[in-house]
Structure 1
Amino acid sequence: MSLDVNVKNMIVEGKTALGIEFGSTRIKAVLIGEDNTPIASGSHDWENRLENNMWTYHVEDIWKGLQDSYQKLAADVKQQYDVTLTTVGSIGFSAMMHGYMVFDKNDELLVPFRTWRNNLQEQSSKALTELFNYNIPQRWSIAHLYQAILNQEEHIANINFQTTLAGYVHWKLTGEKVLGVGEASGVFPIDLSTKDYNKTMIQQFNELVEPKNLPWKLEDILPGVLVAGEKAGKLTEEGAKLLDVSGTLQPGIPLCPPEGDAGTGMVATNSVAQRTGNVSAGTSAFAMVVLEKDLSKVHPEIDLVTTPTGNLVAMAHSNNCSSDLNAWVGLFEEFTDAMGFEVDKNKLFETLFKKALEGDADGGGLLSYGYLSGEHMTHFEEGRPLFARSSGSNFNLANFMRTHLFTAFGAMKIGMDILLKEEKVKLDEILGHGGLFKTEGVGQSILAAAFNAPVSVMETAGEGGAWGIALLASYSVNGEEGQTLEDYLNSKVFAGQQGKKVEPDPKDVAGFEQFMERYKKGLAIERAAVENL
């Protein structure tokens, strides 16, 4: 009872921080207390749409989802602590990175939001990578912009401002056109010495598009860049009404710089220091490794982004991870329903995932590609989910599930092999977070085999990016002068926390390598499916 009173007082006195993250399938809001642990939450499910060959979310879906997740959080506060939420100590917004949102001088969206999931920017990606001698993936905002220029799209001349989803929400609630440096590093390359956009590359871009006679320069349309801990504006009266439709939330609350889901994942797993890394596994999968030095050369499979404090990070990203796996589990759920068995979906996932640990080390010769959408790591602009086996494969449930878990990490492993085997990057430990790690020990064992490195999952890993951005919001107002983000996380958030660690099993490591040989050879089957189905 006393604990609830303490929490209630924290809420009333505004000694809290609110984090809201726009994920691919869910918008989640988390409120944390003075000790940085979650005290209330709310969420809203949403889905992207494929319209005119573009993956998008409608603007009205953005605001509906934000308002619904906040209302549910406020209701959770009311139910648990009998307090009407009128203020918080600080707020932070994060979202899936990259993509394309451009606005005219009247702040009107010029074309529907183009998400990171689109793989139609290969021409611009290649051209800019060659121009900058720096890998520019198709997902990056600058690749979207240059592709629109190459396509001679009508709206280009009317651009007044370009931002990301997180930057858009932050702008509308504060009036500030800014991004956190981690999010900005997925828009345009960052100069690590200045923690700002690379001015040489901006000049190169301006010269590249000069023949187009555009009425703007790149530096004039990009948002400003801030590092973690810097002030990023306050909630305006208009913003407060946009966030809380009941009109109860008061304006004036400070906000931290808006960040991307990569950065919030690093924060939520306490992997912002060098030689640490984390893997986020959900709709997409990405591995983040904080580097001690630059890579020896440009690798098109590896993105270079930054931590929220502006340190260099190598990212191996795959567009597809759990969507096809979830669809297969859904099929098993349909079967149990048809048989008249009522099975809890979490129990179904747990049972099927644990079955995977009983399979042959290499998955029994089975093959799967969960390419619901295109996959840049293996150069597919479109995807076709595919399962295949030979007449000699050991086809059973354990191997079937093991293969689908293997392939969920398959594309990402291609990038990680470049870092670990070719670039000899040193990794002390990988922290896993996301839905694929909910069943204890299974996703960890598979990932440890894929990377041949220890994998830990913290007790708080399930809190995800919304918790991560709440921590950044808390740091922005509670961090002591001169205290680094690493120190803040170690002393104020993760002190005393023990993760559950799984070491790689040599047999599983060898089995995953066998599977990957099959995976690479079988890409021709996936290519034929894309071209003919």
Structure 2
Amino acid sequence: MVSCYLGIDVGTQGLTALLVESSSPSSASSSSSSLTVIAKGEGSYDFVPNLEDGCYEQEPNDWDNALIKALKKIQNDVVKTKTKVDIKSICVTGQMHGCVMIDKNGSSIGTARLWCDSRNQEEADELTKLFGERIPKRLTAARYLWSLKHEPEKVSKCVAITTPAGYITHRLTTPIVQVQASTGSKTTNNNWNQPILLGGRSLILGVGEASGMFPIDDDNSTTGCCEYKNDWIEIFDQYVRTKFSSSFPPSLKELLPRIRSAGDIRNNNPVIIDKSIFMKQTNGLLMDVCDLFLNNENGGEINTNNNILVAPAEGDQPTALAASLIGEPGMISCSFGTSVVANMVGGRKSKKSKGNSNTVDKFNAVNGLPISMVWLRNGTTYLNRMVDSYGGDFDTLLKQAIEAPTDCGGLLALPFLDDEPGLDVKRGGTALIVGFNSSNNNNGNVIKATLISVMFNLLLGTKQVEEANENEKDDEEEVETKKKKIVLTGGLTKTPQTGQILADIFDRPVRLLEAADEGGAWGAALLAKYYHDCSSSATSSSSSSSSSSSSSSPDPNDWLSFLKTIKAKEEQVFFPHSERVQTYREMLTKYKKLLNLQPQLDEVMNGPP
């Protein structure tokens, strides 16, 4: 029987599930283990159609269907190989900052608004003024404030708010109350305790995911784990009562999920694998998942135990750090996809910034340590548009871009199809390429200039992160960030040579891990393993002690120690080349001048702001 962990990534336009095998140390003297992917499943979905520009929503049921499709693929692979699999634990990660509202029956209320929905800048500005610190417009609380104004009927039914990953975790562990159309009566399975969702307090999120919903109080030490900023929640509630009604809605604290750091097993949720229970359960997702996890007569076998632990859902960016095996302060994880993100871990004593940097956002890693995030809305979107314009063969065009001269033949690009809050680009529509002449108008130069423009924006943002970290270091804690490696994840890593371009632009080594292009799901599987290890350790400790060892959250250093036991399978490490570094520095000087002209371009294309 192979011990495995299931990682699920609810991405922006598709879901990935990885079944990962945990191998034992290679020798008695070695303490390292490795995680190997043995099966993979995927499911796709799209945005709700016909919405206005800048509006991005999805149907939560589409995530359910994608999950079942992905798990069926994994089950088929297990059957074909006749592998006997014992799934110890599951963890779900996904797109942060979404807003899924849930009613008293545990069902989603309408569609979910996503991280890329741009409708609530006004609300973010209101919260920034209220709290005295910058609140990014993608924060879930800002989306909820928008809904209070524009979707009052939806909000009136809401008893809990969560994220896409939090919702899927909720669906895996909570039977939904079904209302029979004929009688209107509610039906649930009597084998379950408290099947009806009793508000946000019955939901649990990982601390990284929770910090994307509402700011975290890192200094809270009264409960043994991170908590939301309660004073800010009180300010939010008072503002809402004054603006809307004294009796509506409930306190934000009642709506938000509870927080757990990685490995904190308090209130852990098992998926119960008992066919007799699930055959009575009228809800589709739980029954389908149960069917997939039961013994298969064709030789493949998944999980003969009675339950599978389900770790708290965690955000895609904290999970990307986990997948990169990054936990030490100063290291940077770069993720290239629809959006582009760079995360740098801060020290345990680092202070949250009091400034109002437009580029750097502050969230939390899976163990509660602060992370500085540079987020770019305009990631590979413009690159994909240009690929479509030049024939649509992504692999061929990217290969031509890699082979193009370092300076792109003199071309420069701006990638702003959409607004870019971090760079104070307030409106989209100013994506362009300049510098064409008779000799440089070829596919490779165009695609490379497009790619480099995003990397330049990322470089400008990470420099602000490093400057902020230098200013915020504790006297007792020296965090050296210069020349640390960058770990690259995301879809762009399917063409590894892009790592060389990034290394030359940043003038520091870039490392790619074996599972870089599946970083989210692989990182979730890693979190699932850590959760199971902590649960096993707590069980052993409680059986040999009169008091339970699981009454407090793990020390953040426990997570760092765990990461050091995981053996990384690196594909490549790229080192900067001095000549190309110098060329990119010269290009960056020109790019900054072009970036300074963006407001004028915006006024030309879009009219006065």
TM bin, normalised by shorter chain, reads 0.7 to 0.9
In 1: Cα distance, 2:395 partner to 2:359 partner: 36
CA contact (8 A) 1:370 1:407 kept: no
Q: Which residue of 2 aligns with 1:6?
A: none
Distance 1:102 1:152 in 2: 11
Counterpart in the other structure of 1:455: 510
User: What's the counterpart of residue 308 of structure 2?
Assistant: 253
Q: Hey, what does 2:364 align to over in structure 1?
A: 306
* In 1: Cα distance, 2:588 partner to 2:501 partner: 8
- Is the 2:427–2:602 contact (alpha carbons within 8 Å) kept by the matching residues of 1? no
Partner amino acid, structure 1, of 2:317: A
* C-alpha contact 1:287 1:412 (8 A) present in aligned 2: yes
Residue 369 of structure 1: CA displacement? 1.8
Greater alpha carbon shift after TM alignment, 58-67 vs 468-477: 58-67
Moved more, 288-297 or 90-99: 288-297
Name the SS for the 1:313 alignment partner: strand
Q: Which residue of 2 aligns with 1:388?
A: 433
**SS of equivalent residue, structure 1 residue 193:** coil
Separation in 2, partners of 1:467, 1:374:
31
Cross-structure match for 1:433: 489
Counterpart of 2:407, as a letter, is D
2:378·2:415 contact (CA, 8 Å) conserved in 1? no
Give the stretch that moved more between structures: 447-456 or 252-261: 447-456
176-185 or 403-412, which deviates more: 403-412
1:321 aligns with 2:322: no
Distance 1:152 1:21, change over 3 A: closer
Match of 2:320 in 1: 265
1:193 matches 2:219: yes
Alignment check: 8 A CA contact 1:274 1:290 kept: yes
| Aligned residue runs from structure 1 range 26-41, under 5 A | 26-35=14-23, 36-41=35-40
Q: 1:247 to 1:51 in 2, by over 3 A?
A: farther
Residue 337 (structure 1) aligns with:
none
Deviations 1:426-462 (A, max 9, x none): 2422111112233233x22332344343322223323
Tell whether 2:273 aligns with 1:228: no
Q: Which runs of 5+ in 1 are unaligned?
A: 1-8, 335-344
Alignment partner of 1:274 out of 311, 321, 329 = 329
What CA distance in whole angstroms lies between the structure 1 residues aligned with 2:313 and 2:513?
24
Q: Is the 8 A contact 1:277 1:287 kept in 2?
A: yes
User: CA, structure 1 residues 59+422, in 2 after alignment: closer, same or farther (shift >3 Å)?
Assistant: closer
1:203 paired residue number: 234
What is the aligned counterpart of 1:484 among 542, 558, 564? 558
Other structure's SS at 2:332 match? strand
How far apart, CA to CA, are the structure 1 residues paired with 2:606 and 2:164?
A: 30
**1:412-427 alignment, distance < 5 Å:** 412-421=458-467, 424=470, 426-427=481-482
Q: Give distance in 2, aligned partners of 1:30 and 1:21.
A: 9
Task: Give the C-alpha shift of residue 174 in structure 1.
Answer: 1.1
Report the aligned-residue RMSD.
Answer: 2.7
SS in 1 for 2:43: strand
Query: What secondary structure does 1:148 align onto?
Result: helix
| Paired residue type of 1:74 | Q
| CA 270–349 in structure 1, closer or farther in 2 if over 3 Å, else same | farther
Decide which moves more: 395-404 or 171-180: 395-404
Aligned length: 503
Kindly indicate whether the alpha-carbon contact (under 8 Å) linking 2:406 and 2:583 is maintained by their aligned counterparts in 1: no
- Determine the structure 1 residue equivalent to 2:574: 501
Q: Cα gap change, 1:347/1:158 in structure 2, threshold over 3 Å: closer, same or farther? A: closer
For residues 316 and 392 of structure 1, the distance between their equivalents in structure 2, rounded to whole angstroms, comes to: 34
Aligned partners of 2:591 and 2:141: how far apart in 1? 35
What's the secondary structure of 1:18's corresponding residue?
strand
Work out whether residues 47 and 58 of structure 2, in 8 Å CA contact, stay in contact via their aligned partners in 1: yes
Pair 1:407-2:453 in alignment: yes
2:64 aligned partner, one-letter code: W
Structure 2 vs 1, CA of residues 407 and 181 (structure 1 numbering), >3 Å: closer, same or farther?
same
Rounded to whole Å, the distance in 2 between the matches of 1:405 and 1:471 is 31
The TM-score with structure 2 as length reference comes to 0.76
Deviations along 1:32-86, whole A, 9 cap, x unmatched? 112222111111233324543321111221111111111111112222x21476x
Judge which range, 109-118 or 309-318, deviates more: 109-118
Identity %: 24
Of the structure 1 ranges 23-32 and 243-252, higher mean CA displacement relative to structure 2 is found in: 243-252
Say which of 328, 335, 348 aligns to 2:396: 348
Which is greater in Rg?
A: 2
Question: 1:350 deviation in Å?
Answer: 4.4
Tell me the alpha carbon deviations over residues 468-495 of structure 1, each in whole angstroms, 9 at most, x when there is no partner. 000000111125577712211211333x
Check 1:263–1:527 CA distance in 2 against 1; reply closer, same or farther (3 A cut): farther
Displacement of 1:324: 2.4
- Greater mean deviation of Cα atoms: 125-134 or 90-99: 125-134
For each residue in 1:233-252, what CA deviation from the matched residue of structure 2 results, as whole angstroms up to 9, or x when unmatched? Answer: 11144664243565737662
Distance 1:487 1:507 in 2: 40
TM-score (norm 1): 0.86
Task: Tell me: CA distance 1:201–1:296, structure 2 relative to 1, closer, same or farther (3 Å).
Answer: closer
* Structure 2: 5+ residue stretches without partners: 24-34, 175-201, 221-225, 273-277, 295-301, 472-480, 539-553
User: Quick one: distance in 2 between partners of 1:415 and 1:125?
Assistant: 20
Asked if 1:57 corresponds to 2:58, the answer is yes
1:341-398 Cα offsets, whole Å, 9 max, x none, are xxxx574144223134x1426x614323252x44322445653373232566954434
Q: Find the counterpart in structure 2 of residue 82 from structure 1.
A: 82
- Secondary structure class of the residue paired with 1:299: coil
Shift of 1:24: 1.7
Q: CA deviation at 1:205?
A: 1.1
**CA separation in 2, counterparts of 1:415 and 1:132?**
23
The equivalent residue for 1:339 is none
Displacement of 1:531 in angstroms is 5.0
Q: Secondary structure at the match of 1:431?
A: strand
C-alpha spacing 1:221/1:401, structure 2 compared with 1 (3 Å): same
How far does the alpha carbon of each residue in 1:256-291 deviate from its partner, in whole angstroms, 9 at most, with x for none? 111111011001111122111101001110100112
Question: In the alignment, which residue of structure 2 is the partner of 1:25?
Answer: 13
Contact 2:386 2:447 in 1 (8 A): no
Which amino acid is 1:440 matched to? P
Distance 1:531 1:149 in 2: 30
How far residue 152 of structure 1 moved from its aligned partner, in angstroms, is: 6.6
Give the corresponding residue for 2:550.
none
Indicate conservation of the 8 Å contact 1:377/1:411, yes or no: no
Question: What CA distance in whole angstroms lies between the structure 2 residues aligned with 1:29 and 1:320?
Answer: 26
Residue 466 of structure 1 and its aligned partner are, at CA, apart by 0.2
Aligned partner of 2:355 in structure 1 is: 297
Give the conservation status (yes or no) of the 8 Å contact 1:19–1:31.
Answer: yes
